[in-house]
Structure 1
Amino acid sequence: MSAATAPLVPSDPGSSGSPAGPGARLAWLDALRGIGAMAVVAEHLLPWFLPGLRPYWFSLGVYGILVFFLVSGYIIPTSLERHGDVRAFWISRFFRLYPLYLAVTALVLALAWWVPVRAEVPRDGSAVAAHATMLLDVVGVGGVADTMWTLSYEMVFYLVVTALFLVGAHRGSGTLTMVFGLGAVAVGLVIGGPLLRGGWPAYVTAAVFAAGLACVLWGRARTAAACVLGVTALAALVLSSRIPWLGVAVVAVMFAGTTIRRWEEGAGPLWPVAVTTALVGLAPLRAIETGWWWVQADVWLTTIALAGGTFAAGMALRGRRLPRALVWLGLVSYSLYLVHHPLLKYFTTISGDLREAEPVWQAAMAALALALVLGASALAYHFVERPGQAWGRRVARAVSGAGGGGLRGGGSGGRAR
Structure 2
Amino acid sequence: MSAAASSPASPAALTSSSRLAWLDALRGIGALAVVAEHMLPWFVPSLRPYWFSLGVYGIFVFFLVSGYIIPASLERHGDVRAFWISRFFRLYPLYLAIIVLVLALAWWVPVREAVVRDGSAVAAHATMLLDVVGIGGVADTMWTLSYEMVFYLVVTALFLTRGHERSGTWAIVFAVAAVLVGLVASGAVFGGGWPAYVSCAVFVLGLTGVVLGRLRTVSACLLGVMAVACLLLSSRVPWLGAAVLAVMFAGTAIYRWERGTGPLWPVAVTAALVVVAPVWAIESGWWWVRADVWLTTIALAAATFAGGMALRGRRLPRVLVWFGLISYSLYLVHHPLLKYFVQVSGDLRQAALPYQLLMTAVALAVIIGASALTYRFVEKPMQDLGRRVSRRCRGGLQGGGEARVPGEDAGDDRVLGHQERQVPHGVGDHVGQGDTVG
Contact 1:166 1:408 in 2 (8 A): yes
Counterpart check, 1:258 vs 2:252: yes
One of 137, 144, 151 as aligned partner of 2:145: 151
Question: Aligned partner of 2:209: which letter?
Answer: C
Contact 2:216 2:399 in 1 (8 A): no
One of 178, 187, 196 as aligned partner of 2:181: 187
Alignment of 1:59-138 (within 5 A): 59-138=53-132
CA distance in 2, matches of 1:416, 1:375: 37
Contact 2:326 2:375 in 1 (8 A): yes
**46 and 415 in structure 1: CA distance in 2 versus 1, 3 angstrom threshold:** closer
One of 213, 219, 224 as aligned partner of 2:218: 224
Report the counterpart of residue 36 of structure 1 in structure 2: 30
Report the counterpart of residue 411 of structure 2 in structure 1: none
Question: Aligned partner of 2:400: which letter?
Answer: R
Contact 1:63 1:304 in 2 (8 A): yes
Q: Deviations over 1:330-387 (max 9, x none)?
A: 0000000000000000000000000000100000000000000000000000000001
Could you tell me the percent identity over the aligned residues? 73
Report the counterpart of residue 285 of structure 1 in structure 2: 279
CA distance in 1, matches of 2:192, 2:375: 35
Alignment of 1:183-332 (within 5 A): 183-332=177-326
TM-score by length of 2: 0.88
Total equivalences in the alignment: 392
Distance apart, 1:22 and its partner CA: 5.4
More displaced 10-residue stretch of structure 1: 78-87 or 127-136: 78-87
CA distance in 1, matches of 2:69, 2:261: 15
Distance apart, 1:26 and its partner CA: 2.2
SS in 2 for 1:286: helix
Distance apart, 1:415 and its partner CA: 5.8
Report the counterpart of residue 398 of structure 1 in structure 2: 392
Question: Aligned partner of 1:195: which letter?
Answer: V
Distance apart, 1:408 and its partner CA: 1.1
Report the counterpart of residue 168 of structure 1 in structure 2: 162
CA distance in 1, matches of 2:349, 2:359: 11
Distance apart, 1:25 and its partner CA: 2.9
Gaps of 5+ in 1: 1-20
One of 397, 400, 412 as aligned partner of 1:408: 400
SS in 1 for 2:329: helix
SS in 1 for 2:107: coil
CA distance in 2, matches of 1:311, 1:303: 13
Q: Deviations over 1:205-262 (max 9, x none)?
A: 0000000000000000000000000000000000000000000000000000000010
CA distance in 1, matches of 2:104, 2:76: 41
Question: Aligned partner of 1:330: which letter?
Answer: G
Distance apart, 1:162 and its partner CA: 0.1
Q: Deviations over 1:54-97 (max 9, x none)?
A: 00010000000000000000000122112210000000000000
TM-score by length of 1: 0.92
SS in 1 for 2:394: helix
Question: Aligned partner of 2:39: which letter?
Answer: L
CA distance in 2, matches of 1:198, 1:414: 40
One of 40, 48, 51 as aligned partner of 2:42: 48
CA distance in 1, matches of 2:403, 2:46: 57
After the TM superposition, which parts of structure 1 deviate over 4 Å for at least 4 consecutive aligned residues? 413-417
Gaps of 5+ in 2: 1-14, 407-438
SS in 2 for 1:62: helix
CA distance in 2, matches of 1:38, 1:91: 29
Report the counterpart of residue 3 of structure 1 in structure 2: none
Report the counterpart of residue 343 of structure 2 in structure 1: 349
Distance apart, 1:24 and its partner CA: 3.1
Structure ranking higher on relative contact order (CA contacts 8 Å, 6+ apart): 2
CA distance in 1, matches of 2:171, 2:266: 7
